């Protein structure tokens, strides 16, 4: 038996939806807890599978972890294990973010290589180069990253590209290094600001938070803390696209609209009206969205995680859109599934050209990753008939209560358990 989502197209989404903490923040914050002995508590955590998986990674290092509804408590022992368990890490790519905290705390870290995935190859060269600049040695041995560094010393580090994961790992190693580390061309995603804010609460000394130059003055020890995870801007933006595509009106609560300045501007260019408060915003669309171009870039550029939503919107827009993907080379693979739904889309290298059609037509489609899956569901909302979206475990990894939230907004969507197609 396997689950799929049955999406009946045609509904106009209306109402309000609450968004909880960001997947891409909570997993790093859980790793950051390793930096201080004692109990760190995170609230507003999303109830998604990745959280218990990350809890298993931390348990394999000797921590006690309890996950209760939206609260995760991590009890970190004085002596941490330095070797992350292969089985836990292999299920969760993001668990590579324990590398920085482990080398900082244990002077040694062994983390299985997570490997590539459906959106493209995901090397760790910048993570390794950064740790090496701090004085660690890193090698790949038997499919694992093995890092050693008896003394970590502050250093000047230039990243070739503002990698989110590399910035996080280097930052988490640098907070306990000797002296000052400067990370140039650092990623500036709101999730990195959230991580830096939590590290600061724990006693870290970080300047330039939210900019592309982070200066970290190492301290000898950090204290555990209590922290509320920031709202998930990618989930919030998914609802914004859903509202615009279905010509509906949706209020999204729990996300800072400034994290979506560019997204909301793009939706206005497509004809939507938007209103923003402090932790909420509304998107309303009366007619058919107009075609607009999207270019994915590191924050504050248009997020690569929203590229499938951009393709889905373009597929039903009035006119032709060009979408350029600059972050993950294989992220257009899912476009073939959109074509199955009747989208007029062609890709060539980094570019996709999408000629909008009035209405898509339902088909069985397969989600290859979290965001591709969400994009396919949005397309299904604008397709005639019942679209079956398979491999929904990907969607469940990033979107808590996805079906329930869609139903709350008036969509005709069911989770169905049947024999696989
Ligand atoms: C994080 C997010 C992911 C998002 C991405 C970009 C998490 C769990 N995941 O992934 O949802 O799509 O940021 O916003 O937070 N690269 C290298 N060498 C490295 C590191 C990265 O070449 O050492 C390349 C990658 O292959 C990719 C680009 O840099 O092409 C960006 O990757 P990165 O910003 O590191 O993304 P992640 O942290 O893996």
Exposed, middle or buried by CB within 10 Å (0-12, 13-18, 19+), for 142? exposed
Exposed, middle or buried by CB within 10 Å (0-12, 13-18, 19+), for 129? middle
Q: Which atom of ligand 1 is nearest to the CA of 124?
A: 23
Q: Is 292 in the pocket of ligand 1 (CB under 6 A)?
A: no
What does the pLDDT read at residue 121? 73
Mean pLDDT of 113-129: 81
What does the pLDDT read at residue 231? 98
The pTM for the full model equals 0.97
Q: Which atom of ligand 1 is nearest to the CA of 161?
A: 29
| Span from the CA of 414 to the centroid of ligand 1 (angstroms) | 32
Q: How confident is the model at residue 117 (pLDDT cuts 50, 70, 90)?
A: low
| Span from the CA of 359 to the centroid of ligand 1 (angstroms) | 34
Which H or E element spans position 31?
helix 23-32
| Span from the CA of 189 to the centroid of ligand 1 (angstroms) | 11
Which of 185, 84, 207, 211 minimizes the C-alpha distance to 129? 185
Mean pLDDT of 167-188: 98
Is the pLDDT at 153 greater than 80, yes or no?
A: yes
| Span from the CA of 247 to the centroid of ligand 1 (angstroms) | 33
Q: Is 350 in the pocket of ligand 1 (CB under 6 A)?
A: no
Give the total residue count for the chain. 421
Q: Give Cα 66 distance to the centre of its chain.
A: 23
* Percent above pLDDT 90 for the chain: 92
Nearest CA to ligand 1 atom 11: 305
What does the pLDDT read at residue 177? 98
Give the Å distances, CA to CA, from 345 to 158, 253, 333, 404: 38, 33, 12, 30
| Span from the CA of 306 to the centroid of ligand 1 (angstroms) | 14
What does the pLDDT read at residue 118? 76
| Span from the CA of 163 to the centroid of ligand 1 (angstroms) | 5
Q: Is 163 in the pocket of ligand 1 (CB under 6 A)?
A: yes
| Span from the CA of 164 to the centroid of ligand 1 (angstroms) | 6
Q: Is 405 in the pocket of ligand 1 (CB under 6 A)?
A: no
Is the pLDDT at 195 greater than 70, yes or no?
A: yes
Q: How confident is the model at residue 115 (pLDDT cuts 50, 70, 90)?
A: low
271-307 pLDDT tens trace: 999 999 999 999 999 999 999 999 999 999 999 999 9
3-state secondary structure of 238: helix
342-395 pLDDT tens trace: 999 999 999 999 999 999 999 999 999 999 999 999 999 999 999 999 999 999
Nearest CA to ligand 1 atom 35: 163
What does the pLDDT read at residue 198? 98
Which of 249, 295, 238, 300 minimizes the C-alpha distance to 272? 249
Q: Is 124 in the pocket of ligand 1 (CB under 6 A)?
A: yes
Q: How confident is the model at residue 215 (pLDDT cuts 50, 70, 90)?
A: very high
Is-contact 81 88, C-beta < 8 A? no
What does the pLDDT read at residue 329? 83
Q: Which atom of ligand 1 is nearest to the CA of 298?
A: 14
What does the pLDDT read at residue 116? 55
The region that residue 412 occupies, defined by phi over 0 for left and psi between -120 and 50 for alpha, beta otherwise, is beta
Report d(CA 214, CA 387) in Å as an integer: 46
Residue of 122, 128, 145, 298 best suited for mutating to test ligand 1, as the one with most atoms within 8 Å of CB: 122
Q: Is 127 in the pocket of ligand 1 (CB under 6 A)?
A: yes
Residues annotated as catalytic are 117
Instruction: Kindly provide the b/e burial profile for residues 382-409, where b requires at least 16 CB atoms within 10 angstroms of the residue's own CB.
Output: bbeebbbbbbbebbbbbbbbbbebbeeb
Report d(CA 25, CA 28) in Å as an integer: 6
What does the pLDDT read at residue 420? 86
Nearest CA to ligand 1 atom 38: 165
Is the pLDDT at 123 greater than 90, yes or no?
A: no
Q: How confident is the model at residue 126 (pLDDT cuts 50, 70, 90)?
A: very high
Nearest CA to ligand 1 atom 5: 164
Exposed, middle or buried by CB within 10 Å (0-12, 13-18, 19+), for 53? middle
The chain-wide mean pLDDT, for the chain, equals: 96
Q: Which atom of ligand 1 is nearest to the CA of 23?
A: 8
What does the pLDDT read at residue 172? 98
More confident call, 161 vs 329: 161
Q: Is 356 in the pocket of ligand 1 (CB under 6 A)?
A: no
* Percent above pLDDT 70 for the chain: 99
């Amino acid at each position: 038996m396997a689950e799929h989502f049955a999406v009946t197209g045609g509904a106009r989404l209306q109402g309000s939806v609450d968004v909880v903490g960001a997947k891409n923040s909570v997993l790093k914050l859980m790793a950051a807890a390793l930096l201080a002995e004692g109990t760190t508590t995170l609230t507003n955590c999303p109830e998604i599978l990745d959280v218990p998986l990350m809890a298993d990674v931390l348990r394999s290092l000797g921590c006690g972890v309890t996950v209760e509804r939206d609260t995760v408590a991590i009890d970190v022992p004085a002596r941490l294990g330095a070797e992350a368990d292969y089985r836990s890490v292999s299920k969760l790519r993001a668990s590579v973010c324990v590398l920085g905290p482990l080398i900082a705390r244990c002077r040694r870290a062994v983390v299985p290589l997570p490997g590539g995935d459906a959106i493209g190859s995901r090397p760790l060269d910048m993570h390794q180069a950064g740790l090496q600049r701090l004085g660690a040695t890193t090698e790949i041995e038997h499919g694992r990253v093995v890092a050693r560094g008896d003394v970590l010393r502050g250093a000047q580090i230039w990243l070739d590209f503002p990698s989110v994961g590399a910035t996080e790992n280097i930052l988490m190693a640098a907070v306990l290094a000797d002296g000052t580390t400067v990370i140039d061309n650092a990623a500036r995603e709101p999730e990195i600001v959230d991580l830096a804010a939590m590290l600061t609460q724990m006693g870290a000394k970080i300047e330039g938070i939210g900019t592309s130059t982070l200066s970290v003055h190492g301290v000898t020890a950090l204290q555990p803390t209590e922290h509320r995870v920031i709202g998930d801007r990618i989930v919030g933006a998914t609802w914004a696209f859903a509202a615009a595509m279905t010509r509906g009106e949706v209020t999204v609560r729990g996300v800072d609209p400034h994290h979506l300045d560019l997204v909301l501007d793009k939706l206005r260019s497509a004809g939507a009206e938007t209103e923003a408060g402090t932790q909420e915003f509304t998107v309303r669309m009366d007619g058919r969205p107009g075609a607009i171009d999207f270019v994915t870039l590191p924050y504050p550029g248009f997020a690569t995680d929203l590229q499938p939503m951009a393709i889905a919107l373009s597929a039903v827009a009035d006119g032709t859109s060009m979408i350029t993907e600059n972050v993950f080379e294989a992220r257009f693979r899912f476009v073939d599934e959109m074509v199955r739904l009747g989208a007029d889309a062609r890709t060539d290298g980094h570019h996709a050209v999408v000629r909008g059609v009035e209405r898509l037509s339902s088909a069985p489609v397969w989600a290859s990753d979290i965001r591709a899956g969400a994009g396919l569901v949005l397309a299904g909302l604008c397709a005639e008939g019942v679209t079956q979206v398979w491999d929904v475990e990907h969607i469940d990894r990033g979107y808590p209560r996805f079906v329930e939230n869609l139903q709350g907004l008036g969509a005709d969507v069911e989770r169905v358990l049947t024999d696989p197609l």
